[in-house]
Chains A and B, each alone.
Chain A
């Protein structure tokens, strides 16, 4: 989780530098997170295409949600044709 800055450390007036979204983890408030069963997964990449936050990627040959940015919307679980993705309590 990103450390929140105090008012003395912050830039004035909420001014934002370019590409600052890379520094801000936006997935901290989700209730559930997707968990992939790699035995079932066929790597059809449908979840990658459907993820509205572009935060499912293939890492070391495995479909991997990025929990730093995932909001827990469960769209990936919904579209998975082989039911390889289940929603579990976030923060595990």
Chain B
């Protein structure tokens, strides 16, 4: 194990080098590009045995991933924003065929207007497609979650996407603890699928009529529900190696908190700084940072947030409805009498400052709740 300085994109590429996937279909897009650029260097330098396949679009990248995975290969790729949107047709095919593809998603705003900076509109648009979704706060979590995702995908026979914030995480340098190559190799093991095109005489993707399609989708629902427990089991195994914990969400000063913020990815780091500051002044504030977003851990989040006044901070819109994270938190807490305020922040890379989060906690403490979405850092 060694400590080294690297970007979030570098951490994802380093994890990929150690995982040494069989196939990596590649198409560049900002801010994902440095992941696959770094990984392409590893391929060119002979540091991995991966077959890097350069394709003409993300639609093709995910199509190659599906074909290679069905053939029995361990497959990884990465994308962002419009690239993810272009993959959209193939994403439910990957999950529907139960192919354990692992993809790093570097969160970026969907066009239009075109914008290369961070928000979660891309991955949130893919939340109902049968992919497991894991969100990462910082570079270390990107590294750990990518390694965890490979084993989780293969045990659940489901594809997994690992999110990190565009530029904020992907392009900023932090200290990352890197495991030995051999340790990672042993942890992920050899990929031996139960069924594959190269091993069995089998047809993938045959048509299913109304007499069977419903049952197949029910199997998929069961598989992703089971992924919850498998996530914890795989996390325990990884924890033995890294000493870090892998849970559905991180609770930060939450147990005795009267006021709690719920927020995903890098903004949780900013929120922690504010929680520390306010705690010093005796304010009972805390944070819940969801990590596993699909499948969503309703019961566990319900217990963790019981009795608290809550602000849910979404970095994406669900135009015409509750924003995605807030919708889930409200679902989790249905039947309880928590006061919940929905905020949308940070679209198109708008920064979230400590003072914005202080204002949110102040609103909670002063009982300022409205039955509509409020916006942080927006000019009226």
Contacts and interface: CB of A to CB of B under 8 A. Distances in A.
A6 B216 CA distance: 9
B319 interface: no
Given A13-B204, A14-B208, A15-B202, A6 B215 contact: yes
Q: Is the interface of A mostly helix, strand, loop or mixed?
A: loop
A10 B216 contact: yes
Interface residues of A, number: 12
Q: Please indicate which of the listed interface residues A5, A7, A12, A14 has the most CB atoms of chain B within 10 Å of its own CB.
A: A14
A18 B211 contact: no
Contacts of A13: 96-98, 204, 216, 219-220
A22 to B, nearest CB: 14
Interface in A6-49: 6-7, 10, 12-18
Nearest to A5: B215
A10 B204 contact: no
Interface string B200-220: 011111101001110110111
Nearest to B202: A15
B219 A15 contact: no
A16 B203 contact: yes
A48 to B, nearest CB: 28
Interface in B219-233: 219-220, 222-223
Contacts of B215: 5-7, 10
A15 B204 contact: yes
Contacts of B218: 7
B195 interface: yes
B98 A12 contact: yes
Contacts of B157: 12
Given A12-B98, A13-B96, A13-B97, A18 B201 contact: yes
Interface in B68-117: 96-98
Contacts of A17: 201-203
Contacts of B220: 13
A4 B204 CA distance: 20
A37 B157 CA distance: 55
B219 A16 contact: no
B202 A14 contact: no
B209 to A, nearest CB: 10
Interface string B311-347: 0000000000000000000000000000000000000
Contacts of B213: 14
A15 B203 contact: yes
Contact of A4 (B96, B195, B208, B211): B211
A7 B219 contact: yes
Contacts of A6: 215
25 contacts: A4-B211, A4-B212, A5-B215, A6-B215, A7-B219, A7-B222, A10-B212, A10-B216, A10-B219, A12-B223, A13-B98, A13-B204, A14-B208, A14-B213, A15-B97, A15-B195, A15-B202, A15-B204, A15-B206, A16-B203, A16-B206, A17-B202, A17-B203, A18-B201, A18-B202
Q: Which 9 A-B pairs have the closest CB atoms?
A: A7-B215, A16-B203, A7-B218, A13-B98, A16-B206, A18-B201, A14-B216, A14-B208, A13-B97
Given A7-B216, A10-B212, 8 more contacts: A5-B215, A12-B223, A14-B205, A14-B208, A14-B212, A17-B202, A17-B203, A18-B203
